[in-house]
Structure formats: structure tokens, C-alpha cells
Amino acid sequence: MSAMKEAKNAEIQMHLTEFEMPPMQDIVIVGRKAPIGPEALKRMVDVLSPDQYKIIKVDHPVIEAIVVREALMNMVPEEKLSKFILEEGEKIVDASSIIKAHVKITVHVSKSIDL
């Protein structure tokens, strides 16, 4: 008669990556039924990176608000930027989503000067 043997093992894996500061990039699009609301997001980033983000509440059936890095609005007016974000964001966002987005703005300037 053989004795029953039991063995328990645990395998631990650890992945290390750098913490993003703040844990969002340029823009966060918040759906109306998302688990985190725009006010909670704003308070979180205000603690981690004070005065850098602005909540823009929008009148949209799916999107409740967008949280935008204020520096972007120095380059593009708020209305134009939010219109652009909504137009692109509504194609992929559903009411329960929170989507973060990175935008790259390049301003082209061309001037003629008298010679």
C-alpha cells in the first residue's frame, strides 16, 4: 500500500515596468457608464500632476467628458480640439469605456517677409 503524496508549489512571475507619470497621456475620453468618472480622474491627476489637466464635459450620448492636458490647448483652441477628439473618439468609444489617447500637434507656420 503506497502512501499518498501531496505537493503544493507556487510560481511567482514579476513584470517590472516604469510607472507612467501621470498614468495617462494627453487625453482621456470617459464614457457615460465608465467605472471612473471625469471628476475622479481629474482629482487623481491633480494629486499626481497638479494643474495640468482640464475636464471638458460634453453633450454627447455616449461620451460624458474628455480630460485634456492643458498645454495642448495653448496650441489649438479648446473648441476645435474637443470637436476633433469627439469626432474621432466616438468611432471607438462605448459608454462603459475609458480611452486614453496620445496626440501629436505640429503647427506649420509660413510667413512672407519683404526683402
Partner 1 sequence: MISITRVADIYSKEFPAVDVLDGVSKTMSFLLETDNSCCPVMDEGNLVGVITYKDLLRTHPNRIIADVMRGEPVTVPAEMSFWQAKELFEDTGLDVFLVEEEGRLSGILSRNLLEIQLGSHVDLLTGLFKSDYIYYHGVRLLENKQEISIVFFDINNFGVIDKTYGHTIGDIILIEVSKLLRENIPTEAFLCRYGGDEFAVILPAHMDEGAALAYRLTDIVGQHSFPHGIDISISAGVIGGRRHEERDDDPWNTIEQLINMASLRSTEAKKSNATLIMAEIQGANEIA
Chain positions contacting partner 1, by CB under 8 A: 33-40, 43, 96
- To partner 1, the closest distance from the beta carbon of 28 in angstroms equals 13
- To partner 1, the closest distance from the beta carbon of 109 in angstroms equals 40
In the complex with partner 1, which residue's Cβ is closer, 24 or 34? 34
- To partner 1, the closest distance from the beta carbon of 83 in angstroms equals 24
In the complex with partner 1, which residue's Cβ is closer, 25 or 96? 96
- To partner 1, the closest distance from the beta carbon of 63 in angstroms equals 14
If you write DSSP's letter for every residue of the chain in order, what string do you get? -PPP-------------PPPSSSS-SEEEEETT-SS-HHHHHHHHHHHSTT-EEEEE---SSEEEEEEETTHHHHS-HHHHHHHHHHHHTTT--TT-EEEE--------------
Closest CA to 104 of 66, 72, 77: 72
In the complex with partner 1, which residue's Cβ is closer, 39 or 70? 39
In the complex with partner 1, which residue's Cβ is closer, 6 or 59? 59
